[in-house]
Amino acid sequence: MMTTARVLNGTKIANEIKAEVAAEVAALAAEGIRPGLAAVLVGDVPASQIYVRSKVKTCAELGLFSELITPPDTVTTEEMLALVASLNTREDIDGVLIQLPLPEQVCAKLLLEAVSPTKDVDGFHPVNVGKLQSGQPALAPCTPAGMIQILKRSGLPIAGQNAVVIGRSDIVGKPIAMLLLQENATVTICHSKTHNLAGHVRAADILVAAIGRPGFVTPDMVKPGATILDVGINRINDRQEFDRFFAGDVRREELFLLKGSTLVGDVHPAAYAVSGAFTPVPGGIGPLTIAMLMANTVRAAKMRRGLLA
């Protein structure tokens, strides 16, 4: 008999983490320390503006200092490097966040490597990547770190589980594989060149879908009772596409007709029913990213002052 799959509520878990961060910030304030985050937003990309302003708003809610820096979209790599160098030296800034994407004339790789590893709250710097791989204390990328929190706080086993990661990006795929390995899972990374991908995926006790293709994972690819972490955020505007994923979902259809679009993950919604637990889209992994950014900023503040190993 099939049991109902458990919905892993990312918003609830994110709120728990933010409450813990607020308590840490209050404790640091008693010692005269206020963690600070600098968010650098270049140009006028609407999605980036919404996302960064949400980060700044969350800082204020939790008691962190934040500064939003908005260079024009004509900024050069040299000007951005000078800005990062100045932020690296500021004592009131513990985390430096450079919102991607950047204008084409700016070299993102150079900029991300210019951020001091001790202030790299996105966890993208090669030093932090190396520390993560070798199991040393490091600032881990926010989305993968949030996924581990979802599993742990939901009481789902990781050690000894077969974990399959679809996608090998530096932002999600590779770091979540490393974090799962640290938690003693047996990890397989699949990608576009993997032979018999469906066969690998069907063996997963924990399935991470981070490939950027809407509804890629179908019900026949999911092991009954598996835990699904769906990282995909794909916007659907086309009615035919909507029907392919959400036919018969009356509530979703009402919202689609009202807004003209909806979101679907990298896992086909019908596949969730095969799982034992899953993160929905939206409301699953997304909310954890900002919560973990706040946690990383506080962690960076403590590490820089020798309050953590």
Closest CA to 282 of 262, 255, 259, 261: 262
Asked if 294 and 21 touch (Cβ cutoff 8 Å), the reply is yes
Question: Quick one: pLDDT at residue 1?
Answer: 40
pLDDT at 187 (0 to 100): 98
- Backbone conformation region of residue 158, classed left if phi is above 0, alpha if psi is from -120 to 50, else beta: alpha
134-145: pLDDT as tens digits: 989 899 999 999
Is-same-fold flag (30-116; 140-288)? yes
For residue 120, CA distances in Å to 138, 260, 298 come to 10, 37, 12
Q: 37 is written with which tokens?
A: 């985050």
Q: Which helix (H) or strand (E) holds 298?
A: helix 286-304
From 3.40.640.10, 3.40.50.10860, 3.30.450.70, 3.40.605.10, which CATH number describes the 30-116 domain? 3.40.50.10860
Measured distance CA(4)–CA(51) in Å, rounded: 33
- C-alpha 285: how far from its chain's center? 7
Give the residue numbers marked as catalytic. Answer: 55, 99, 122
122 close to 300: Cβ distance less than 8 angstroms: no
Amino acid identity of 52? V
Task: Tell me the per-residue pLDDT of 282-298, one tens digit each, with 9 for 90 and over.
Answer: 999 999 999 999 999 99
How large is the average pLDDT for residues 39-47? 89
Domain ranges (residues) in the chain? 30-116, 140-288
Give the residue-averaged pLDDT of 166-173.
Answer: 95
User: Exposure of 43 by Cβ count < 10 A (0-12 exposed, 13-18 middle, 19+ buried)?
Assistant: middle
CA end-to-end distance (rounded Å), the chain = 49
> Quick one: 140-288 is in which CATH superfamily?
NAD(P)-binding Rossmann-like Domain (3.40.50.720)
Per the structure block, which two tokens stand in for 147? 């996924």
Taking residues 238-250, report their average pLDDT.
Answer: 93
**What are 38's two structure tokens?**
């600098």
Q: What integer pLDDT is reported at residue 309 of this predicted model? A: 57
By the 10 Å C-beta count (0-12 exposed, 13-18 middle, 19+ buried), 232 is classed as buried
User: How does pLDDT run across 202-215, given as a tens digit for each residue?
Assistant: 999 999 999 999 99
